[in-house]
């Protein structure tokens, strides 16, 4: 195909029709590219071609028949312009056009204003595939990063009524259900103060400031914060909580391999990597408390993050079992034999089904023992979310929907120990 340019010596006359189709014919061909001849020139015109005649105006009946297509935005540009000009002159057609437009609006399905909860993850994944972060967040900190972001997305459109909606925090202690009444803002204040245990371990400011808590336990810190406030917490607590969570994630990204750093919870310690999982778990559990209070759906964490939370709870169970025995809360007639650290002992197989699933062997006789399939005395099957709600104190152990086989006393001990992991 020849490409024409300014050096061809062709001024373009007679090579392109009025409708843009190329060709030198007279427009009498049968194809769709046939051009329309320009009006003939005459001596009175000085030899110049006459302009094309303006299209004839559409009749009222034609314009009326176009109203439906106009309401659906299905007219051509010329037809739409003619209809709109006519509507300014004809009241009857203007009224009919308004009715048609309102009918079209009713036919359209309303779109939800709620963002897809997975939108943030998809956007971040897409961005990071193209450009890795300069300082990546450690894998063990990503559940906390994800859960705080999900909770913040839930809070962003809350009005004053939602911030003051009543919330009941629930947990399990000494084989009995416990609860504390607060508000949505009070729950965020609770998360702020308990996340402060991680913040202070990383060298960040303590949200308690000069307020003294009788111990470093999460409940004591929260009660001290609530007492020191002149007024009940309001939506203003969201900003410091979110700033602190950002600061924690930023700092662990800079610290590198500091996952073993101890974080004090008052009467026990957790390594930083486990403390971050614990805070992610608490953030999700309390986000569900808030969502229930305002009658809003809230999904569990991703399967990978949920699996990490379940694994942390399972690793903590042997210590809780030992503490229950020391407190005389073991099942009647249970006489566990002591097992040296690192040696196999009686074990319970915990099978987690569904999201975050897997299998764990829990040593029953001492915290230092090793779970052993040869010494398995019981088998419990639970849904992943159900197990987490049991560990959060939201499901009574006797009501946990568990499949159970084997030593009933061992099963009872493990289910009650799982509920004993919960705290305010």
**Residue 4: is its pLDDT beyond 90?**
no
Mean pLDDT (whole number) for 317-336: 75
Distance CA 142, CA 244 (A): 15
309 class by beta-carbon count within 10 Å (0-12 exposed, 13-18 middle, 19+ buried): buried
pLDDT at 133: 61
* Residue 70 in domain: yes
**Residue 309: is its pLDDT beyond 90?**
yes
pLDDT band at 112 (very low <50, low <70, confident <90, very high): low
Indicate whether 274 and 231 sit together in one domain: yes
- Considering only 39-43, 77-81, 198-202, 266-270, which range has the smallest mean pLDDT? 39-43
> What is the count of structural domains for the chain?
3
Mean pLDDT (whole number) for 30-37: 44
Percentage of the chain modeled with pLDDT above 90? 49
**Residue 291: is its pLDDT beyond 70?**
yes
Distance CA 386, CA 400 (A): 7
Contact, 59 vs 65, CB < 8 A?
Answer: no
Distance CA 112, CA 29 (A): 54
| 169-226: pLDDT as tens digits | 999 987 688 999 999 999 999 999 999 999 999 999 999 998 988 888 999 999 999 9
Indicate whether 97 and 143 sit together in one domain: no
- Across the chain, mean pLDDT equals 82
**Residue 379: is its pLDDT beyond 80?**
yes
Indicate whether 67 and 185 sit together in one domain: no
Indicate whether 349 and 284 sit together in one domain: no
* Residue 2 in domain: no
pLDDT at 10: 43
Residue 410 CB partners (closer than 8 Å, separation 6+): 331, 334, 346, 348, 364, 377, 378
Mean pLDDT (whole number) for 276-283: 97
Indicate whether 184 and 228 sit together in one domain: yes
| Predicted TM-score (pTM) above 0.75 | no
pLDDT band at 19 (very low <50, low <70, confident <90, very high): very low
Mean pLDDT (whole number) for 363-381: 91
| 401-422: pLDDT as tens digits | 778 999 999 999 999 999 999 9
Question: In this predicted model, which residue has the larger pLDDT, 129 or 424?
Answer: 424
* Residue 51 in domain: no
Indicate whether 404 and 289 sit together in one domain: no
Please report, for the domain that includes residue 325, its CATH number.
Answer: 3.30.1050.10
Contact, 349 vs 379, CB < 8 A?
Answer: yes
- Considering only 38-42, 120-124, 192-196, 217-221, which range has the smallest mean pLDDT? 38-42
* Residue 171 in domain: yes
Instruction: Give the CA-trace dihedral at 307, 311, 313, 317, to 10 degrees.
Output: 150
DSSP type of residue 90 = -
* Residue 12 in domain: no
pLDDT band at 24 (very low <50, low <70, confident <90, very high): very low
Write out the residue range of the structural domain in which residue 216 sits: 135-293
Please report, for the domain that includes residue 228, its CATH number.
Answer: 1.20.120.450
Which of 355, 359, 391, 353 lies closest to 376 in space, CA to CA? 359
| 237-273: pLDDT as tens digits | 999 999 999 999 999 998 877 888 999 998 899 999 9
Indicate whether 324 and 287 sit together in one domain: no
Indicate whether 321 and 284 sit together in one domain: no
For the four alpha carbons of 255, 121, 388 and 310, in that order, the dihedral sign comes to negative
pLDDT at 194: 96
Indicate whether 262 and 375 sit together in one domain: no
Indicate whether 71 and 161 sit together in one domain: no
Indicate whether 65 and 180 sit together in one domain: no
pLDDT at 27: 40
- Considering only 20-29, 157-166, 221-230, 298-307, which range has the smallest mean pLDDT? 20-29
Contact, 322 vs 306, CB < 8 A?
Answer: no
* Residue 40 in domain: no
* Residue 410 in domain: yes
Distance CA 299, CA 422 (A): 20
Mean pLDDT (whole number) for 23-44: 43
Which of 408, 397, 406 lies closest to 332 in space, CA to CA? 408
Indicate whether 143 and 284 sit together in one domain: yes
* Residue 120 in domain: no
Boundary-marking domain end, from 249, 278, 293: 293
């Amino acid at each position: 195909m020849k490409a024409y340019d300014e050096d061809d010596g062709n001024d373009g006359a007679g090579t392109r029709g009025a409708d843009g189709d190329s060709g030198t014919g007279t427009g009498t061909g049968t194809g769709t590219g046939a051009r329309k001849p320009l009006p003939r020139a005459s001596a009175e015109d000085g030899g110049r071609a006459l302009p094309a005649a303006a299209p004839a105006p559409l009749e009222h009946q034609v314009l009326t028949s176009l109203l439906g297509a106009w309401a659906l935005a299905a007219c051509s540009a010329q037809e739409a312009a003619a209809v709109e000009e006519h509507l300014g002159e004809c009241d009857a057609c203007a009224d009919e056009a308004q009715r048609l437009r309102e009918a079209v609006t009713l036919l359209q399905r309303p779109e939800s204003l709620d963002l897809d909860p997975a939108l943030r993850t998809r956007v971040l994944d897409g961005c990071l595939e193209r450009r890795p972060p300069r300082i990546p967040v450690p894998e063990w900190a990503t559940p906390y990063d994800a859960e705080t972001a999900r909770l913040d997305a839930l809070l962003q459109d809350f009005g004053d009524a939602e911030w003051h909606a009543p919330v009941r925090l629930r947990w399990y202690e000494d084989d009995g259900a416990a609860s504390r009444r607060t508000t949505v803002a009070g729950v965020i204040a609770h998360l702020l103060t308990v996340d402060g245990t991680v913040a202070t371990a990383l060298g960040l400011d303590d949200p308690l400031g000069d307020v003294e808590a009788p111990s470093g336990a999460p409940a004591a810190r929260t009660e001290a914060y609530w007492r020191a406030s002149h007024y009940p917490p309001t939506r203003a607590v969201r900003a410091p909580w979110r700033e602190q969570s950002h600061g924690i994630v930023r700092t662990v990204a800079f610290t590198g391999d500091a996952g073993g750093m101890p974080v004090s919870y008052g009467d026990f310690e957790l390594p930083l990597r486990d403390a971050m999982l614990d805070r992610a778990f608490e953030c999700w559990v309390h986000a569900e408390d808030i969502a229930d209070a305002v009658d809003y759906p809230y999904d569990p964490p991703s399967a990978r993050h949920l699996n990490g939370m379940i694994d942390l709870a399972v690793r903590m169970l042997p210590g809780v079992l030992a503490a229950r025995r020391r407190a005389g809360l073991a099942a009647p007639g249970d006489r566990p034999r002591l097992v040296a650290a690192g040696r196999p002992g009686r074990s319970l197989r915990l099978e987690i089904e569904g999201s975050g699933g897997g299998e764990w062997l829990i040593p029953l006789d001492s915290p230092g023992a090793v779970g052993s399939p040869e010494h398995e005395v019981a088998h419990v099957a639970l849904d992943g979310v159900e197990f987490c709600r049991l560990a959060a104190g939201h499901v009574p152990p006797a009501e946990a929907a568990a499949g159970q086989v084997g030593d009933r006393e061992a099963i009872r001990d493990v289910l009650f120990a799982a509920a004993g992991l919960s705290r305010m």
